[in-house]
Every structure is written in C-alpha cells, then in structure tokens.
Amino acid sequence: MLSRALSRVFVLPCRRSVLTATLSSTASAFTDAATPKRRGRPPRTDTTNPKPSTEESASPPKKRGRRPKEPQTVNELTTKSGAGKVIHSPAPPRPVASKPAVIIPADKWELPPLETWSDVFPTSGQASTKPPMMFADRVTLRDPDTAWGLANAFIPEIARDKVIIEAFPGPGVLTRALLDLPRERVQKIILLEDVKVFREYLEPLAKADPRIEIIPLNAVNWDTYEQIDLNKLGVQSLPWDEPHPNLHWIAQLPVSSMGEQLMSQLMRCIPDKSWLFNYGRIPMSVLMYDWVWERMSANMSNRARCKLTMMTKAAAEADLAVDPDLLTPPGDKFYPGSVLHRSGKTRPVVPMAAVNFLPHLKPSIKPGMVDKWDYCLRRLYVQKSTPLEKAVGNLAPGAQTLLRYLTDPSAHPSERLDVKKAIRTMDPRDWAAFISAFDRWPFAPEDLSISNSFTHQERDS
C-alpha cells in the first residue's frame, strides 16, 4: 500500500505539492512535540505601531544654507540701524530667573500657566479682607516682559538702595521683575497683600530672598503702614528740598472706586506732609485704569476735568512712566482679561496707565488748607462750565463778597483773579488765590464736611 502510494506521487505530479505539504506539517509536529513549550502569554505583537524600517527611521538630510535669523524681542539690549549704528533700547534684556537653593514647591515659586489662572485665582466672589473687597476689583499684571519694562521705568538705572513698599502686588509678577533688577537698586521690598490666594505665591519669594517682607494687611487702611518699621531699615526723614532717594511707593490700584479714592487721599497727604510724606518727597509709581489717569490729568478742554484733577495738579508732578502701547492689548497684559460689571454683564478690561508721581517742591495747597480746598472744589465744580462770578453763590450764602477780594486792585497779584473764568478753566494758581480769599472771609462756613444735602453730582465731581 505504501509503495503504491509513493508511486502515485511520482506518477501524478499534480498531487506532489499536496503530499509535500503533508509531510512538512508532519515533521513540524514532531519538532514541536520535542521542544518544551514556554508557559505564559504569547509575546504581543504591536500591529498598531510597527517598528519602522531602517530606511523609514533615518532622519531626513539636513538642508544646507544660511542659518535662519532669530526673532527679535522687545527687550533686546541693542539693535542695529544703518551702517553700524547701534540704538539702545530703554530696558535691558530680562534675565532668566533661577530657582533658589532652598527647596520650594515648584508650583508656588513659578507662577501657574496662564491658561490655568482662572482656576487658581478667582475672578468672582468676595475676599475676606477689611474693608471687604471683590475679587473682580483686582486687576494684576500677568505678562513678565511687560513687568520687566515697568520695573525699569519705576526703578531706573540711577536708583540705589531703594526700599519699595508695593501695595496690591497680587501673585507677584511685578515683584519678580523688581527682584530681577540689579541688587544695588533694590534693598528691600515690603509687600502689602491681604488676599490669601495671592500670598501663596508671594511667600516662596520671602523664603528665597531676605529682601522680601510680607505684611498680610490691606494697603487701603492707614493702620497698615504703622506695621512698617522704616527706621529699622535705615530710612531717614529728609528735607523737602530733594526727592527721597530711597523710599518708593508702588501700587497696582484696585479698579473699583476704592482705587481712585486712595489716590485722592494720597494727594491730600502731600501738603501737610502726613503719611509716608513725613519722610520727605516720596516718589510713587502706580498702575491704574486710564480713565482714572484721565481724571487726574485732564486739561481745560477735557470734560473729565474735576476736583481730583485740581488736587493732583496742585500737589504733585505726574507723568506717564511708559508708552501706553506697552500695556496693550490689556487682555494679554493683565488678569483677568474681562471683569464683571455692576450691570451683571462681562466687559473687557479697559486700557491701563502706568504713572510716576513726585510731590511738588512747593505745593499750591498750603499746610492746613486741604479741607478748604476740598470744600470749595466740590461746591464749585458742580457748575464747572459757569463763570466764577456766577457760580460762587453755590459756595455759601453771602459768598459774592469774595469777588471784591479777588478783584481788589490794591491786592497782591497772587491774590487777584479773573472772576469771568469758567470753573473748569481755573488752574492751581487761580484756585490758590480763591482759597486764600475764602480763608480770609469772616463768614466762611465752619463745617466743611460733606453733608447729606450734597447732591450725587457733587459727590462725583
């Protein structure tokens, strides 16, 4: 039978492949039986990501040619213009901040990614502060390059051993930029921040750098500044002749009316040399809404000209610290990019302004006269388009008598005034002459506080 079957293999070529396959499978079965099988799962073959071949995994050939030009940044130290001419930019390049030697949680030393700020820093609700403050009232810097430019504008290259009081620092973007300045410029930074979620990102700075001190109190309260021992820091009270070379106040104002009220109070402190001004002519650098800056700096033709305008111009010099374009678009430079309005609607953050203030060597407001300036400005700016000779009756009964003082030919020129001027066209010199006449008037009202009879328009003027 076997020989007959084998003969058929040679006789019938069409069946040869079948038998050959049969014999091959039989031999394979004997081989598998002789080899011990490996226990466990069979090796997994990656069918989804097969290993590329040598030809596929080889990197593409590099292109030859000129090296691509690196992009230039706004913080470059120098740029070339023309035939070898070098133009220096206003701010040196921002240094790369290195982590401190002490062990600090990375998520606190480094600020969180910008896309997570809405989760880390609340934009609604009320902070547990005194006085209560809404989180929506706080707008803080978030762009490090912008902060670096502001740090150099606030504390320029000529500054030495500055003791900086920074109010409302938020999570510390500007604070970090100030720390990156050369050490000879900054001796101490005192942070006034009472919002706990912001302090969590300030405390690592205090652990890493002894120049940082945190006071967890609200910068609006005057009692907060009594916690600062400036004498211990070597800050001396200096004559009014020159700007104070060491002490400097920096703030990112709340965007509510609280911020404007704080600036108004600071202007009132200058003539009497109270608050920090008992140390001398303290410079101030402030980030504020541009509409607050407009009210503080408005010219005679600007409808925004008001009581705050006159108090500012009479007390201090005020200039923009940087080009406003550096702070635009505000949604990219500041956080949050939008705020909740009282109407319940969300609105984009309005443009901001960075301003440097320096008290006048001779303020137009004399010591002890602040309340009288405040009273007269409030009363008369209700009719700011009206000539003084007609508006003066709004001051108090019988106030027309003041016109005789102001037009007396025998009076000193500094005590005379053109009474046909409209209220909003009067400058600090004019107001100084008017307040001097008011001070000499024997029937001037003694109660200069804001009474309930004042209208809403008077309070907002």
**Cβ partners under 8 Å of residue 256, min gap 6:** 133, 134, 137
**Cβ partners under 8 Å of residue 352, min gap 6:** 139, 287, 288, 289, 290, 327, 330, 333, 334
Task: Please report, for residues 26, 97, 320, the alpha-carbon distance to residue 144 in angstroms, rounded to integers and kept in the order given.
Answer: 76, 11, 20
DSSP-derived letter for residue 435 is: H
Q: How far apart are CA 281 and CA 238, in angstroms?
A: 8
193 known ligand binder: yes
Residue where the block lists tokens 């019988």 = 398
Count, residues in the chain: 461
Contact present, 414 and 382 (Cβ < 8 Å): no
Nearest to 136 by CA among 356, 355, 343, 353: 343
157 known ligand binder: no
Residue where the block lists tokens 């973007």 = 173
Q: Is the dihedral of CA 28, 32, 38, 41 positive or negative?
A: positive
Contact present, 279 and 244 (Cβ < 8 Å): yes
Helix, strand, coil percent values for the chain (each to nearest 5): 40, 15, 45
Nearest to 395 by CA among 370, 374, 415: 374
What is the three-class DSSP state of 457?
Answer: helix
**Residue ranges of the binding site:** 141, 193
Give the residue ranges of the annotated binding site for S-adenosyl-L-methionine.
Answer: 141, 193
